[in-house]
Every structure is written in C-alpha cells, then in structure tokens.
Chain A
Amino acid sequence: DTAVSQTPKYLVTQMGNDKSIKCEQNLGHDTMYWYKQDSKKFLKIMFSYNNKELIINETVPNRFSPKSPDKAHLNLHINSLELGDSAVYFCASSRGTNGANVLTFGAGSRLTVL
C-alpha cells in the first residue's frame, strides 16, 4: 500500500506540449510538496501546500501550475514544455510543521522533453 504515489512514472514528450503529473498520499499528512531533481541529482523545492493552500512558490515559471483539490492530492500541470524542464519530479508529504515531521517521498516522475 504505497504511502505517496505519483503517476505517471515516465513521461516523454515534445517541446511545446502540456503535461500533468498526479500525486496522492494516504498518510493523513497536511502538507504536500513538489521537488525537482536535476541531472546532477540536486533536489530543489518548487511548491509546498498546507491544507490545500499554496504556501511556497519557489520562483517557479508560471508555466508550472500546481493544484490541490484536497489535502491528499497535489497535481502538477506544466504548459509549453521546454528542454530545460527535463528532470525527475518528486512529490512528498509531511505532517505539520514541528520538528518531528518526517518527509515522505513518492517514487518520482521522470520527464523527458525532446
């Protein structure tokens, strides 16, 4: 029973297309995140949501639009894909904002833009 699940696992698409990645968590967490891992394996925060509300937008181009229909879901839609968007996108979740909040990751969605 996967705690944080992302779909699809792989995406290959042409420049200019629009694509979406879905994320769901069954841990009862109230905070969800999108992270981008580049080719050098560096993980960078993109967005964080708490109780469906956007909290962090870390200077991400507005071609990226996250949506949280409820606390258990956080989806990422990307318009007009560019070559530089190729990366692995990770969804994660945590409970609360105190010191005991373990961050739990999904398996990642590898996006390749041709």
Chain B
Amino acid sequence: KQEVTQIPAALSVPEGENLVLNCSFTDSAIYNLQWFRQDPGKGLTSLLLIQSSQREQTSGRLNASLDKSSGRSTLYIAASQPGDSATYLCAVYSGTYKYIFGTGTRLKVLA
C-alpha cells in the first residue's frame, strides 16, 4: 500500500532564502508525482508534474526532482518570497485512478 510522507510538517524562513521541501513514498512503481500549492481556504493549484521517466521539472523559481528508486522527491524554491507562504502537497499516481497525497508542508516566508 502506497504511503506518502512530507518533511518537514511546517517551515518558517526569512524572505530571500532558498529552501527544500521533501516528499517520500513507499512504492516506487509510480507513473508520476505532482506538487501542489494550497492557500488557506482555497483549492489546490498544480505546480509541477514529473513523469516517472523524468528526473526533474522546472517552473520559474521552482524546481522539482524525482528519484524513483529511492522513493523521494524534492521541491526546491529559490529566493523565497512572502507570497510563497502556503501549504505544499505532493501526490503520487500509480495508475490506479487515484492520487495518494502526502501530509503537506506548511510554509511561512517572513518579510
């Protein structure tokens, strides 16, 4: 049974810092891994999707990497800004019509 864990659960950093969020999963037989952002009281916004054959994806200041064999993904945020404050969730898709979500990391970027 696939389990997805995110570390840390919460993170508070000063503006401008580079930071790394971690996601680990127990079953490496995945089709893709997706990173989402959720603002308080809002839905989830897809940030990056990495297919199982890919090692990383980049969008602006965000870079996500995937190491399937070790069951890990990282989301790197460069030069963090207060507007990056949100909960970040990763989800893995194993081709079974369901995404399994991680526990989330609550990020606060201080001005």
Which residue numbers of A lie inside 8 Å of B, CB to CB? 31, 33, 35, 41-45, 48, 50, 55-56, 58, 90, 92, 97-108
Contacts and interface: CB of A to CB of B under 8 A. Distances in A.
Interface residues of B, number: 27
14 contacts: A31-B97, A33-B98, A41-B104, A42-B103, A48-B97, A97-B97, A100-B32, A100-B49, A101-B31, A103-B93, A106-B43, A107-B42, A108-B42, A108-B43
Interface of B: 31-32, 34, 36, 38, 42-46, 49, 51-53, 87, 89, 91, 93, 95-101, 103-104
B98 A105 contact: no
A69 B36 CA distance: 29
A50 B97 contact: yes
A104 B31 CA distance: 17
B99 A103 contact: yes
A98 B31 contact: yes
A92 B98 CA distance: 11
